[in-house]
Amino acid sequence: MTFQKDLLIGVLIGLLIGLSVLPIVKNLGLPIGFKLQLFLAPLLMILVPLGLMIANFLSRYSAVFYQIAKFGVVGVLNTMMDWGILNILMFLSGVYAGLAYSGFKAISFGIAIVNSYLWNKYWTFESGTNRDNEFAKFLIISVIGAFINIGIASLIVNFIAPFGGLSLPVWANIAAAAATAISMIWNFSGYKFVVFKK
């Protein structure tokens, strides 16, 4: 894939990230005005390709920089998609804890995983053909990542009380952030060295 195509994909991913952030902002009641919300997607449509250009420059020193940048961009998209869907489900139901929260987190994470497979297979790791049960390996790594993600998020939101006067929606999103950070390390390692290894 050419670098110009990567930049166009970066524009698309920036748009998708910007759109996925909107339900998070709405559910959390963040004091971000409507005009700023409308400005977010176009800003990300510029920042994502800019980040790819920087990573492309750094890849002259080590090729892994560019692949990590692409994985990071896909990871941000997956995370915002995960959190966006989670916040839509919480907002619509009014449920921010308990078994229903865990179910919502499983749904949002599952959708993000399918998105992750497609972007990582065809863009990040450019693995156009299925080799050695690639999808099965991806599912195994992802299911382990899902247990890590959902388990950590559920543990935090259900067993650790919010501190500092944080609201339940904010605490639920902090739990999701902690879960994402830890599961992202697992997923990159598994995808790079097991699923999409060349």
pLDDT for 34 equals 66
Question: Average pLDDT of 123-136?
Answer: 80
pLDDT in tens, 76-111: 999 899 999 999 999 999 999 899 999 999 999 889
Q: Which amino acid is at 166?
A: L
Whole-prediction pTM value?
A: 0.78
Q: How many CB atoms lie within 10 A of CB 88?
A: 18
- Write out the DSSP string of 103-133: HHHHHHHHHHHHHHHHHIIIIIS---S--TT
